[in-house]
Amino acid sequence: MADVKSGSKLLVGGFGLSGVPENLLRALRDTGVGKLTVVSSNVGTSERGLGLLFQSKQITKMIGSYVGENELFEQQYLSGEIEVELVPMGTLAERMRAAGAGIPAFFTRTGSGTLVHRGGIPARYTKEGAVGLGSAPRESRMFRDPMHKNIYDEFLLEEAIAGDFAFVKAWKADTEGNLVYRMTARNHNPAVATAGKITIAEVEEIVPAGTLDPDLVHTPGIYVQRVVQGERMGVIERLTLADDQASVFSPSTKPGDALRERIVRRAALMLNDGDYVNLGIGMPTLVSNYVPEGVTIKLQSENGMLGVGPFPNRGDEDCDLINAGKQTVTALDGASYFGADQSFAMIRGGHCQVTVLGTMQVAANGDMANYMIPGKLVKGMGGAMDLVCSGARVIVTMEHTDRKGNPKILPECTLPLTGHQVVDTIVTEKGVFEVLPKGEGLVLTEIAEDETVDSIREATLADFTVSDDLCTMLQ
């Protein structure tokens, strides 16, 4: 850390608390160096990961995607103490990968039609809570999608992100700087490693050159200038166990869970045999528990895994094996691990058939908003903008109204959009809506046994038509 100067720009690997170079961050905190710009997909928690640098107020600007688990960061952002640039997670991974590849910029459809495109995402608040600085609009051009040639759409120009230093976490290194990662702890580390002028790798074991199988090296030593051996932290952010229902989801644990189970059971019936499926955090992660017998799907997790299996039993959990919700999982036969940049290449390239997401609001034309309430709540868009722009079928699973009883299906979204005209199907505890093509409205196709069309209209601000084939909600 000796040559990390005040005002440096740092790229930091990790996803949640997995694959985070904790020992490097502790050492940086102890230097007291400030006015740092930090680029990382997540911001850790208030007590771990990058939270250490927010505690000591060494960060003045944060460029990241998902910030929902760090209340300290949120407080500093909303009170105007730090500047923030929110970037879709796949775009962030690609901006770092591009920098390491010498590509100054690229075009992507992710964020088209949102504030990422138009500008105006709050970048800095005043002490009084007003927006003091908003994000700049992106240049855009019309292109045909290379994987879907019938789609002609607006693509945004995104510039590469390099750093003065890159901090990464790997499992093993040799004395040539070659790195091997372990399972989903790989996440953003490979892309980060390529984009630093000086890359420092924190590893659990250093072995002599020639020990690692060259065929299994994930990051070649040409990208790595320094290697530091550090103790294994073994942190699990969300321990989730199949044999501990209190850690998962059970109708008996909370009021309303039976209704949530109804939602995810219905969504699971929409998956087809052979589908590659991405499940968002929260309620969508539970959909895999209810896939019908005879239907086999492959779950893709945006942090870098294909073939996600069920939650482990106690004693089988592994801190290096998590899903996008930071929950402990297992791997099915035939599973694979990869970096987040490759994960989002799968997503943007249209290789997943279905994505299931939660949201705060859905509009009658298929718009959705799920990542922030300006001035009050900031979660960050994570990978949602990449997912909804991928061409996959988008299924929204959500409760029909918010905690105060306000409708969440609206004529127009009032919160910043995650995607414009991207939702195909809405599943709530009250029924199922299909979104007509080109944003032409909603059709109620299924209704819960304990609901009527009138009761659903009372809980829905958006207009909708009723299908001639309206049926009882399938379970």
Active site (catalytic) residues: 302
Return the closest-CA partner of residue 374 out of 73, 33, 120.
120
DSSP letter string, 377-436: EE---TTHHHHHTSSSEEEEE--SB-TTS-BSEESS--SPPSBSS---EEE-SSEEEEEP
For CA atoms 178, 182, 183, 188, the dihedral sign is negative
Instruction: List C-alpha distances in Å: 240 to 155, 245, 329.
Output: 39, 9, 8
Task: Round to whole Å and give the CA distance between 340 and 93.
Answer: 7
Q: Which of the 8 DSSP states describes residue 178?
A: -
Residue where the block lists tokens 């230093």? 165
Q: How far, CA to CA in Å, does 207 sit from each of 18, 88, 188?
A: 22, 36, 23
Q: Tokens in use for 228?
A: 């530091």
Cα–Cα distances (Å) from 268 to 279, 285, 311, in that order, read 11, 11, 17
Give the sheet arrangement for strand 465-472, strand by strand: 331-337, 305-308, 298-301, 276-279, 354-357, 393-397, 425-427, 431-435, 442-447, 465-472
* Cα 199–chain centre separation: 25
Torsion angles phi and psi, residue 409, rounded to 5: -105, 115
Q: Distance between CA 278 and CA 305 in Å, rounded?
A: 10
> Measured between alpha carbons, how far is 291 from 285 in angstroms, rounded to an integer?
12
Q: What secondary structure letter does DSSP report for 221?
A: G
Main-chain dihedrals φ then ψ at residue 31, nearest 5 degrees: -70, -25
Q: Which spans in 124-243 are helix H?
A: 189-194
End-to-end CA distance of the chain: 57
